[in-house]
Structure 1
Amino acid sequence: MKIKFVHFLRLLFPCNYIEWAVFLFFIVCYGILGSYIALHYRIIFDSRIPWDAYFSFDNKAIVMTGGSFERHPLSYYFFNWIRAIALFISNGKMDATFRLTLAWFSNIAISLSLVQVFKYLKNIIQLPLIITLLIILFFGIFSTNIILSFTPENFTYTLFLLTLYNHYAAIKIRKEEKIPASALVLAGITIGGLTVTNIVKVFIPVLFEKKLFKNWKKLGSAALRVSIACIAYILLYLNRIDFKYQTIFSKTNQQYEKFSNVKSTPIWDMICSFFFGGNILFPSFIISDKNNMKGFAYKGLFMDTYSSWVPYIFVGIILILLCWSYMRNFKNKLVQVIVISFFVDILIHCFMRFGLHTSYIYGGHFIFVYPLLLGWLFHSYRSAPKTLSFLALSISILFVYLLINNLIRMSEFFWFLDTYYQ
């Protein structure tokens, strides 16, 4: 038991000098950003603003309640702890110290997420250090990571839990070991508890356990482990709503109708600008008048579609690289796990169109797929120096453009804060 606990800590946290260096680099960069915003502006948490202060995040609602039970069934309990700790540190006041604590919780979660991706690239894919650092720096300036690094939201912690679980599952699959029922239960409750649709992703790695469909005992074992995880999750979910299961269907239908019938922008453009692009490359912003339904008016900031051809080219190149990686590594079980997990989000947001008009806020559910697939693409050409050089040069050019664009957009974000949220 002690050995397993030590292994879990080594999986969870940095465990060598380079991993600590990566962690400290991002926690300092994100920490400066989040601390400045928390101490000088009220946008991270304002008791008068329940939702949509920036990019459709529901900061106050999430911190106070964990979000709606039909989408975030168990996050209520998680955010009770987050809120209680933040209030303890701020002496019961929802002031700048309270905001600062919330921002640093987010900062730590996102920085640890980057460490998990770094570990995957270095230990599972076994890329050279220089390539690993290039990809992790590229990933670190994705718009999703920048925004979630100071945002108290479900997506912030979902990103960490999903990167952690994918790293853990990759280790198990590589060692040809089964994922134990205890791990499935824990992952199902935490990942599925924060966002209900993500529980599907917990069970995807089980499908790729060695000789699963060639051995009835292994198949039965897998079915039993998945069943135990599902039963534990369902019982906790039902307990959360006092076993009034009828409300799940009515509320879910209401949410789907509310978030799936936006026709203001062509579907193809929302898919490109918001789903595939907005989680990486900031588009331009739109300011909107909002109201908290209790007489308080405020300004909200939203992402617009891309306004020039260059961002579309950027997104197109990224997608080409991802598809290239998938085709090159089609027979790789670990790549299939990543892509199937990504397809769950594509199905929900692009095909079913749930929240497609604001799909840039859902990046915490899938954005880690990008660096992992890029890593596998580099790995597939490990014996082709010219192709490796071409890929490294391509990512470097994309990195420079991404950095410049996102710095400019963040300056616009600070203008918004200076104007409306001091």
Structure 2
Amino acid sequence: MSKFKIKFIQFFKLIFPSTGIELIVFLFFLVSYGYLGSYIAIHHKIIFDSRIPWDAYFSFDNKSIVMSGGSFERHPLAYYFFNWIRELALFFSDGKMDGNFRFALAWFSNIAVSLSVLQVFKYVKNIIGLPLIINLLLVLFFGAFSTTILLSFTPENFTYTLFLLTLFNHYSAIKLKKEEKIPALALALSGVSIGGLTVTNIVKVFIPIAFERDLFKSWKKFGNAAFRVIFTCICFILLYLNRIDFKYENIFNKTSEQYEKFSNVKSTPTWDMILSYFFGGNILFSNFILRDKHNMQGYNYKAIVMDVYSSWIPYIFITVLLTLIFWSYFRNFKNKLVQVLMISFLFDMMIHCIMKFGLHTSYIYGGHFVFIYPLLLGWLFYSYRESPKILSFLTVVFSIIFVYLATNNYLRMNEFFWFLNNFY
């Protein structure tokens, strides 16, 4: 068998189910999310309405993203990707932007998110090596997050970013566990695809490189790593500049403009936005409020957005979850795979919590980091595999927050459907 064919088969097995249990997990979420997205696409117009460019629900920019891929300074290469998505959806709907068009868009999102959940399952099963029952609980927990539920039918950059980041983290973990380096072409492809959809995420592609074996003990290995990083940056920069006809000054002007627009909201205390939006809203739905919007062309419409939590219970939930996450980090501090996950997470914290970029709507950025939670929880369970009492305690705590998460998000989704039934 040729080397290329072997690589292709390995790549196929990496992305798609390769065992019976993986197929069951994938199909379970594909059917669950598929039913939800199909119903919304067929009976409601909110997934794509040509009159509404942005913000109809939870600040997602569905129409804008589908038609253009989003702003070039934040999503530099998304234009090309969503051209394919849009044309495929139009092919399915015979060129009409109707219910069939929405149905196709919803199923593209469904497949991407279901594959993302599969990547998380593969990671906890193959990399961490947890018992099957814990693996299943972790992916069910992840699958019930507000981010995964919403992205499963939403045509957005974050939908596909979630898949690409979970895939890359799984792939890089395999390489680090085997003490192998990430090949230059694989790194460049990851950098272009992940950074192309959201420019800041390209940094996350380089984090695993810093943990390759003996990197800082050998000039040869360090030089090779530097070459791979530089090669990836050159590929990305050239494609980025080509996208904007090499008018690089537009990048700085637009970036500054976007930062001012999305970083100067003072209506809510910063600590509450951090807990309710950045750490909370991506996982646990908060209260919903309705707002009046317009498309700047004379069309007015209703929008639904998240408010901060109004009860003390969600704050307790978030506090407990964060305690478990940081407990896992410090417990596994010497584990390079855990360091990769946490450094990536800290990068998002810096952008949204410290620099405050989009902090008031940070619940929509969940696709960049929510998968970190089940993975770090998995490492926490693994670290106490020989301590039955602590493992039992963790299982009880996790089960309680899991039940609360599922109940809360189910009830909130009922409220979301009330919104759909009344306005869309």
Q: Deviations over 1:124-144 (max 9, x none)?
A: 000000111111111110000
Give the letter for the 2:392 counterpart: S
Residues 4-403 of structure 1 correspond to what in structure 2 (within 5 A)? 4-403=7-406
Quick one: distance in 2 between partners of 1:119 and 1:393? 24
Quick one: distance in 2 between partners of 1:206 and 1:404? 40
Give the letter for the 2:388 counterpart: P
- Unmatched runs of 5 consecutive residues or more in structure 1: none
Quick one: distance in 1 between partners of 2:173 and 2:94? 42
- SS at 1:92's partner residue? coil
Give the letter for the 1:203 counterpart: F
How far the C-alpha of 1:401 sits from its partner, in A, is 0.6
Give the letter for the 1:363 counterpart: G
How far the C-alpha of 1:86 sits from its partner, in A, is 0.2
Quick one: distance in 2 between partners of 1:179 and 1:369? 21
How far the C-alpha of 1:344 sits from its partner, in A, is 0.8
- SS at 1:387's partner residue? helix
- C-alpha RMSD of matched pairs (Å): 0.4
How far the C-alpha of 1:389 sits from its partner, in A, is 1.1
- SS at 2:264's partner residue? coil
Identity across the alignment (%): 72
Quick one: distance in 1 between partners of 2:161 and 2:206? 16
- Unmatched runs of 5 consecutive residues or more in structure 2: none
Q: Deviations over 1:318-373 (max 9, x none)?
A: 00000100010000000000000001100000000000000000000000000000
How far the C-alpha of 1:106 sits from its partner, in A, is 0.3
Give the letter for the 1:99 counterpart: R
For 1:415, the equivalent position in structure 2 comes to: 418
Q: Deviations over 1:280-332 (max 9, x none)?
A: 10001010000000000001110000000000000000000001000100000
Quick one: distance in 2 between partners of 1:166 and 1:112? 13
How far the C-alpha of 1:390 sits from its partner, in A, is 1.1
Number of aligned residue pairs: give it: 421
Runs of 4+ with deviation above 3 angstroms: none
TM-score, with normalisation over the residues of structure 1? 0.99
Quick one: distance in 1 between partners of 2:377 and 2:405? 16
Give the letter for the 1:216 counterpart: W
- SS at 1:173's partner residue? helix
TM-score, with normalisation over the residues of structure 2? 0.99
Quick one: distance in 1 between partners of 2:388 and 2:303? 48
How far the C-alpha of 1:392 sits from its partner, in A, is 1.1
